[in-house]
Amino acid sequence: MNSPRKHSLIAFFLFVASAILAQQPLFIPEELPPPQALECGKPEERPEVIRYLHEVVRNMPVERNTGTTCVPLKIHIVRQSNGTGGISLTDVNRAIANLNYYFFEAGTPMEFYLCDPIQYIDNSAWYDFDPMEEAALCDPNDVNNAMNLYFVDQICVMAGNNCNIAGYAYFPFNSIQSTRSVLRNDQMVLYANGTFVHELGHNFSLEHTHTGTEDGPNDPDAERVVRTPPDANCTTRSDNLCDTDADPRYDPANFNLATCTYTGNQTDDQGNVYTPPVDNIMSYYPDQCGGIFTAGQLTQLGQGLSTRQGHTAYTLDCPAATVSNPSGLTATVSNNYTIQLNWTDNANNETGYLIERSTTSASAGFRALKFGGTGPDATTFEDKNLLANTDYWYRVKASNDDCNDYSNVVQINSGRLYCIPLVQSNNCTQNNGVGIGIGRFTIDDGSNTLLDNDNDACNGPLSVYSSTHTAAVTAGATYNYTIELLSSNGGTTGSYSPQNYAIWMDANQDGDFDDAGELLVQSNLNPCEGIVLTGTFTVPAGSQAGTTTLRVRTRSCANGVVSSPCAYYSFGEAEDYGLNVSVAQPVSWLSFAARQKEEAVELSWATATEVNAAYFAVERSRDGYSFEEIGRRQAAGYSLSRQDYDYFDSTPPAGLLYYRLRQVDEDGQYTYSPVRVVHFVPEYAVLRAYPNPSDGTLTFELPVGVQGLWFALYDARGSLLRRAVLPERKGHLSGLLPGVYLLQVQTTGREYVQKVVVY
């Protein structure tokens, strides 16, 4: 049995000096220093709670439901004594939407709803809260049939001092206190993967990825870097997970925030340099570096839920309110940048609305939208987190209604959609009387002016001229451009603000500027001067024919180069223009489809004609943005009749998968198909060992379609006990003495590991 994990009380009261979590606003102005970093205030748990976590919760079997388990949240909002302040219901619902998004993939999928009514607690002393006040605040206000969430303005180590705690929560235990989270208002919706999801992760049994390891490589609970026996200890140390790398804990001195990379050289007790999980929700690494739960953590979330469902000190059965569903839900594409939802509010008792979206069908595949929540009485919502040319289905529900009670479903195709750049200033705030933006933009082919927009204005972070200013261009051809910066005289004389700039083109018409070759021009002026900026750009030879978008963006030279078409800048402007691209099309598409077929994903497509077509590269993505090639099919080359193709992705990972085809010509030019989405649910995704815990006899089983090579059994110290050939999917063990074991099964190209407990 492991020694109790250390959630150091000293660390709890001194964490302000460490400035660990770095939960900063979504976009930090370059001229302004970042705000003080905040961190999780997870308190030291009692030894019996830690033993319970590792001996009971971690051995709880998890059965994945066909649907979701509805979990009630009791919201307690602390305000000033005069009733002012407190988190808004809009932010509460946006935070709940983020929670539903991430807990959807838990071992037992969870969906949260609000236990009526919202409780308001008007007490200025608790508004700026310190943990010593927890009993006074929570004991009389906790409910015994839901998770209790308290929202306060500040959380301080002691009254009025060191107010640097973002939130804290308790592990599962058979006590009302274990249902509590205390959360700081201004940390709830900075990032979808931020404080709120982190703290509820604790509530459902997740530990920090740096547990134990943060206390040095020689700590009894420190985790080693190596992940395979006999030297690995990842199944019995830190968070008991081998798919969260050993973590010495975030230190800004050993981290590059610009690239989200660990730069330290700290080592474990074997001298191996750490490669910590900088993108894990349960780490302390900055939220802007992304946030995920691993497969092992998702299983542990399910164990946490199963444990709580068996407790007797409280229940999770708070009844939902009866709320009239919204009706008349409609969806429209707004200016190629957002999808606008509108509905009729038929209720007068809703606490807000939650928006869910599917890319599968009107009856399956729905999942909460990140930040997809509104306050009460809302009738509209804008979805900006979109893929181009994708079919979407939407539905809306009240957050305090039954979690499976919805509005009508509406379907829409997104078409081509582009990101909206963000800047600190509104309307290109003047710098010494001169706007930082674009006054005029032209394109010519050396003989003729193809586009000329002399707007001499500053219209905010993005001006869209694609419907009024479009240039006809040819793939592979080169053109001249001119950018005139805004000036005090409204022309090419007078004072101006020096600016760098970049030009992008959506060459494959997929609704972004992120693909290889789509950055056409990027300046790095030295010296940074010139009110008239000129140069040339070449339309990528592989551009898709038709109308697409050219983006021109500037920023103050003092802040560096223009490296992103979308990211936050302090000052600058972007302008979008239309391009009508001519190119010889090598392939005429008829269809492209993707679907799960048993333990694989089947892709099928057809072409009507092909001219000089070399091959089709099959590409897959986990997030819809970063694609990798997983296979190829030879094209017919030249054909005037229908050609049918298929490809089987035989090793797809579980979850949402995005597929597209890159059709490559004989000369290397290429075009992309539309994106297709599959929610892949394997019959078994892991090695199963059952019964677990056992009395000394158990069966272990590989996923369907996986053939074993050999298996090995290790004790808790990593000593090899048994090793044998495994010619089948299944194996059996018997005669095991009480203890904790590690079962390792090797297959062709993959290794499976499972902890086994014998009582």
The 3-state secondary structure of 384-410 reads: CCCCCCCEEEEEEEECCECCCCCCCCE
With contact defined as beta carbons under 8 Å apart, do 571 and 498 qualify?
Answer: no
In the numeric block, the tokens 């997929």 are attached to: 510
First to last CA, the chain: 12
pLDDT at residue 64, rounded to an integer:
66
pLDDT at residue 585, rounded to an integer:
67
With contact defined as beta carbons under 8 Å apart, do 356 and 369 qualify?
Answer: yes
Which residues in the chain come in under a pLDDT of 50? 1-36, 426
**pLDDT by residue (tens digit) across 101-150?**
999 999 999 999 999 999 999 999 999 999 999 999 999 999 999 999 99
pLDDT at residue 45, rounded to an integer:
81
In the numeric block, the tokens 């009733």 are attached to: 83
Name the token pair of 21.
Answer: 């979590």
Report DSSP letters for 24-56, one per residue. --SS--TTSPPPPP-EE--PPPPHHHHHHHHHT
With contact defined as beta carbons under 8 Å apart, do 498 and 437 qualify?
Answer: no
Among residues 45, 2, 39, which one has the least CA distance to residue 252? 39
Ramachandran class of 371: left when φ > 0, alpha when ψ lies in -120 to 50, beta otherwise: left
DSSP type of residue 178: G
pLDDT at residue 254, rounded to an integer:
95
pLDDT at residue 160, rounded to an integer:
67
pLDDT at residue 61, rounded to an integer:
85
Q: How far is CA 23 from the centre of its chain?
A: 15
Among residues 451, 441, 458, which one has the least CA distance to residue 501? 441
**pLDDT by residue (tens digit) across 666-704?**
878 888 899 999 887 665 556 888 899 999 999 998 877
pLDDT at residue 16, rounded to an integer:
29
pLDDT at residue 377, rounded to an integer:
97
DSSP type of residue 281: T
Report DSSP letters for 191-206, one per residue. -TTSHHHHHHHHHTTP
Among residues 216, 158, 169, 174, which one has the least CA distance to residue 195? 169
